Structures are given as structure tokens and as C-alpha cells.
A and B are shown apart, each in its own frame.
Chain A
Amino acid sequence: MDLITPAIGLVFWVTIAFLALVIILRTAAWKPILGAVKEREDSIKNALEAAENAKKEMQNLHADNEKLLKEARAEREAMLKEAREIKEKMIADAKGEAQEQANKMIAQAQESIRSEKQSALAELKNQVANISVEIAEKVVREELADKDKQLSLVDKMLGDVTLN
């Protein structure tokens, strides 16, 4: 029966001592310990959140970069295309001009050829007339001496004429 009869002395001391322990530990131990644990958990949580944010930011940055790169690429493409067009245009222009120039030159050349030819023909005509006069003079002179000789002379003269 003693075993299940609470002794007043022990009840008294346990009550006082346990309540004192609760009060002392509340301020001297649990407050700083729980505070420190909470602080650490918060800092870990914050660090994780910050890391997550940084990751997101990095992703955003990456996307921005990608966009910029794409734009730059498109711009380069456009510039290249333009340059190509300019080049082609320049070549085409140059070709056209050259053609014109050449045509002009050809025309000039033909013109000069034609004038040369006419002058040459005129000279030839003059020379032929002169030679004909000379031949006629020699033939007339030879004919006076020998008929055969006159003939051979004419032949010879003619032969000379062709050589000229």
C-alpha cells in the first residue's frame, strides 16, 4: 500500500523542483537553443531560396542571351544578304557599263575601219589609175618597137601590178 500512496514530502519537492526546472530551462536553455535552431533552419531555407532564385535568374539570363544571339544572327544574316545583293548589283552594273563601253569601242573601231577602208580604196584607185597610166605609157612606148615585145611587156607590167 505504501507503494501507491504518494508521500507528501516527495510531492512537495517534485512540484517545486520540477516547476523551477521548467522556469529556469525556459529562459536559460530552450529559448537560446530553439532560437538558434530556428535561426539556422531559416538561414538554410533562405539560402536554398536564394539559390533557387539565382538559378531562375541564370535561366532568365540564359534565355536573354539566347534571344540576343538569335537577333545578332538574324542581323548578320540580313547584313550578309544585303552585301551579297550590293555585290551582285555592282557586278551587274559593271558588266552593263563594260558592255556599253565595249560596244562603243567596237562601234568606233568599225567606224575607223570603214573610213580606213574607204581611204585605202581611194588610194588604191589612185594608184591603179597611176599604174594604169604608167603601163599605158610603157606599152605605148614598147609598141612602137616590137609588137611581141609590147605584148610581153604588158604581161610583165600586169604581173608587177599584182605583186604590188
Chain B
Amino acid sequence: MIAKKSIKNLILAVLFALPLFATASGSSEKGEEKKFDVVEMIMHHIADSHEWHLWGEGEDAMTIPLPVILYTDNGLVTFLSNEFHHDDTGHHIVTKNGMNFVRNHGKIYQLNAGETSVKMEDHHITNGSKPLDFSITKNVASMFISIILILLIFTSIARSYKKSLVPTGFAGLMEPLIIFVRDDIAKSLIDEKKYMKYVPYLLTLFFFIWVNNLLGLVPTGANLTGNIATTMVLAVLTLLIVNFSGNANYWKHIFWMPGVPVPMKIILAPIEFVGIFTKPFALMIRLFANITAGHIIILSLVSLIFIFQWAGTPSMLLAIFIMILEFVVAFVQAYIFTFLTALFIGMAVEDAHH
């Protein structure tokens, strides 16, 4: 028991400490060369990227190259992101299929036909356009890792149940969460007869958000759930599921609210109609803002060291505290997103009881 506990503590300590070192090492050299720009460093860390940065700066940076997939007027173009040679200022030109590509501030531009050099005005490229970028970015790669992890975990749990109905090992750890989602989220919010239909989706949603929130806290990890695109997709799926599940009673409550006088019905209809969209919109913003804010706080506290030098070291304690808080937030946000999705579904499929 003691050995087990100390191993657990060690793992926790390493987990908490690593991202701090990782983010620190990512920017330390920069500080010596030029003035340390906190905003730029933080924005760089929470933004998506075409390569998986590990450490180092500029040409010395250690990164894992990821595939770039561009949909141009002349069809798909693919190449590895290391062809940009870590350039993010629009100077290094990559030529593929007779088209010239440059990268500027994380965006890939295709230079107009015939142009061989970049013309810039106020950091904006004037002689190029942005092709549709379907690259396997850091966030996409991280999501694939999370999906592989989730598949491995839950298919192995499913197999363990085939051997015995008694949960053992990892199944014992996950079963309370699965039952929690089934009973405390789905069953308590959605009609007794209809809830089982939505449980698989809610379970997937919950574990997808939770695992990706946690992966976002891992050193050098991506900020998938803190990206507005991810939360938008999840919110739109909630919107679609809720409205396609909506029964006559649900639509009646939106367009002709029962139990109120006719003038109120007319006033309430547009409000309720807008509500269809504001609910998932709030879901999108909530998850995005919570996770991104957490990352920004941790990075800010770590940045204090580069601003105040030795005097800034106590901020490490605060950073560790926020990191622990973020582990809680990772769970809570996954719970809230799933809970509210179930709540909206529950409202949409509820039978009339007036």
C-alpha cells in the first residue's frame, strides 16, 4: 500500500512539474536574445500549430513534423510541415505542384500565380490567398492520440466484462464514471423511457472532452478543447441532436408557449427561438473559455519567472496550485458540457404534463 501510494505521488509530482519545465524551456532562450514577449508566448502556446513543438527556438527547435494538407484550386497538396524550416514569418517559400506556399503566423498562404516572392504590408501578405487548410495540425494529432487512448481503454473494458461481470482493474475505475453518466446525467434529466438512446452519445462526449482536457494539461500537449473549432463542433452536434429529437411539445413551447396570455406568446416566441441557438453557443464559449483561461493562467504564472527572474520563483507554487485546479476543471467542464447537453435533450423529448 505504501509503495503504491508513493508511486502514485511520484507520478503526480512529475505530472505537475513537467508542463512547467516544458513551457519554461520553450521560451528561456528567447528571453536572453530579445525582450521576452509574454502575450506572444502565451498565444503561441494556446494556438494550433502545423508542427508539434517540443523544445528549442528558431532553427534549433526540436519539433515533430506533421502532414500539411491543402485544398487548392488545383487539387490537394500534401507535404510535411518541416519543409517550412520552422519559418512562421512568410519568408521561406515551399514549392509544390508549381504552387508557392508560405507560412505566416500559423497560417499557410498560397502566392498568386506568377509571384515568386512575398510582398508584405503591415505583417499581412498582399500577394497571396489562403487555401483551405485540412492539415493534421498539433490539435488534430492530439485528438487522434486521445481517440486511440479512448478506444483502447473502453474496448479493453468491454472485453473484461465478457470474462466476468465483476469489474476488475481499469473497468473498476471507469465503471463508476460510466454509471454516473448513465444515472446521474442521462437518467435524471431525460425521460425514463427515452434516456438509454442518448447514453452512448453522452458517454462518448463526456470521455472525449475529459480525456482531451487532461491531454491538454500534459507537458507539450495540445489545446484541443480550448480551441473554438472543437467546442463549436461539439456544440453544433448538441444543437442538431436536441432539435432533431424535439417533439411537438418542445416546438410548442418555443413558438406558442402554453399557459401564458396570447400577447406573451407572441413576445416569447422570438426569445425562445433565439434560445435554440444561444444554449449551444453558451456551451461552445464555456468549454473554450474555461480551458483556454486555465492554460493562460498557468503560462502567465510561469512567465513571471522570466519577467522577475529569481524573484518570480514563488509563482511556481501558484502555478502548481492552478495546475491542480485545472485537473478539477478538466473533469468539471466535461461534466457540465455533458450535463447541459442531456438537460437540453431532456427538455426536447419531455412529454406534455400540463
Contact = CB atoms under 8 A, between A and B. Distances in A.
Interface of A: 2-15, 17-22, 24-26, 28-37, 39-40, 43
24 contacts: A2-B47, A6-B232, A7-B227, A9-B137, A10-B139, A11-B233, A13-B140, A13-B143, A14-B230, A15-B233, A17-B144, A20-B147, A24-B151, A25-B150, A25-B151, A25-B203, A25-B204, A28-B155, A28-B158, A30-B199, A31-B158, A36-B161, A37-B182, A43-B165
Interface stretch (B90-98, B127-135, B333-341): B127-135
Contact of B165 (A8, A13, A17, A40): A40
B143 to A, nearest CB: 6
Contacts of B132: 8-9
Interface string B150-179: 110011011101100110000100010011
A10 B140 contact: yes
B143 A26 contact: no
Contacts of B47: 2-3
A18 B134 contact: no
A10 B143 CA distance: 10
Interface of A is mostly: helix
Nearest to B207: A25
B152 to A, nearest CB: 10
B51 interface: no
Interface string B169-202: 0010001001100100000000000001001110
Nearest to A41: B179
Contact of B158 (A3, A4, A5, A33): A33
A29 B48 contact: no
Nearest to B69: A9
A37 B175 contact: yes
Contacts of B144: 17
B168 to A, nearest CB: 12
A34 B182 contact: yes
A30 to B, nearest CB: 4
